[in-house]
Amino acid sequence: MKTEYQKAWFFVLPVLFLVAFNALVPIMTVVNYSVQETFGNNVFFWQGLDWFEQILRSDRFQAALGRQFLFTFLILIIEVPLGIIIALSMPRKGFWVPVCLVTMALPMLIPWNVVGSMWNIFTLPKIGLLGYFLNDVLGINYDMTQQPISAWVTIIVMDVWHWTSLVVLLSYAGLVSIPDAYYQAAKIDGASPWKVFRYIQLPKMKTVLTIAILLRFMDSFNIYTEPFVLTGGGPGNSTTLLSIDLVKIALGQFDLGPAAAMSLIYFAITLLVSWLFYTLMTKDDAQ
């Protein structure tokens, strides 16, 4: 087999230089930090791979990693089916199409830290609209500043609110690209709505869904701002996700060595999952 026109890679070179400056140089610096100890003032002492060993064996890191995987898993399992359902029920033509699209796009236009503070004010138990409604009208004991379960529900609902639109818009783009002939053929064969979804719509949405899931995985696995603004990692450590913990170590404690080691482990996980996912999803196309 032979892929076409490898020399096209030369046209990517300008981007490569740009990426070299904003990604590669920092990563190389992080690698250098991860094997050394510093007390500031640009003076470094060799430490070897001790930080990696220490981080990998620390309960704190393992707990944060577990919370991070749980968060990402819950996000994906809610947002992807919900996004597909919303995309399927959106109109394909007519007056309501732009209305739906703009409404869907609105949450994604709001900056992440603003989303965090909006939801913080919205869900505070005494003064927030939702918090007040749940506690004093419905009588549900809800306090995201005190109860780990409430805090988890809040950050997940917030992320679903913020990012389901992305899955919706991408799925919708996949759906409208299906020619009418497919539906007509399905109608002639008397296919049920489920069969139409399973054998026409889902295969046609596969490429965009791959991108959507990949983006949602990476974004939710690296999420920092929203939960930090909303709960600050609390109550206790219950919503301290990996990135929040990393920033605490790097900037709060100024332990640059362990923080660098931790971010490299973090990077390796993101890289592996993204690569695995992308490879498995696109494997069938190559055959």
Does 35 sit near another protein (CB under 8 A)?
yes
Q: Which amino acid is at 40?
A: G
- Give dist(CA 105, CA 190) in Å, integer: 36
User: Which residue stretch of 48-56, 126-134, 212-220, 230-238 sits at the interface with another protein (rule: CB under 8 A)?
Assistant: 48-56
Does 214 sit near another protein (CB under 8 A)?
no
Q: Which amino acid is at 150?
A: S
Does 29 sit near another protein (CB under 8 A)?
yes
Residue closer to another protein, measured from CB, 156 or 260: 260
Shortest Å, Cβ 11 to another protein: 12
With a CB cutoff of 8 Å and minimum separation 6, the contacts of 264 are: 30, 31, 34, 52
Shortest Å, Cβ 16 to another protein: 11
Residues within window 256-275 making contact with another protein, judged by CB under 8 A: 265, 268, 271-272, 275
Does 12 sit near another protein (CB under 8 A)?
no
Q: Which of 12, 16, 23, 32 binds another protein (CB under 8 A)?
A: 32
Does 126 sit near another protein (CB under 8 A)?
no
Does 57 sit near another protein (CB under 8 A)?
yes
For the record, the structure tokens of 277 come out as: 């996912």
CB-facing half-sphere around the CA of 125: CA atoms within 13 A: 13
Q: Which of 22, 42, 89, 192 binds another protein (CB under 8 A)?
A: 42
Run of H or E including 9 = none
- Give dist(CA 160, CA 146) in Å, integer: 22
- Give dist(CA 155, CA 223) in Å, integer: 11
Question: Cβ distance 170 to 212 under 8 Å?
Answer: yes
Does 49 sit near another protein (CB under 8 A)?
yes
With a CB cutoff of 8 Å and minimum separation 6, the contacts of 116 are: 158, 225, 226, 227, 228, 229, 230
Does 41 sit near another protein (CB under 8 A)?
no
With a CB cutoff of 8 Å and minimum separation 6, the contacts of 222 are: 243, 270
Determine the Cα angle at 135 with ends 134 and 137, to 5°: 70
Residue closer to another protein, measured from CB, 108 or 268: 268
Does 17 sit near another protein (CB under 8 A)?
no
Does 71 sit near another protein (CB under 8 A)?
no
Shortest Å, Cβ 31 to another protein: 6
Residue closer to another protein, measured from CB, 189 or 285: 285
- Give dist(CA 210, CA 285) in Å, integer: 12
Does 134 sit near another protein (CB under 8 A)?
no
In this structure, what DSSP letter does residue 145 have?
T
Given the rule CB under 8 A, which residues bind another protein? 1-4, 6-7, 9, 25, 28-29, 31-33, 35-36, 38, 42-44, 46, 48-50, 52-53, 56-57, 265, 268, 271-272, 275, 279, 283, 286
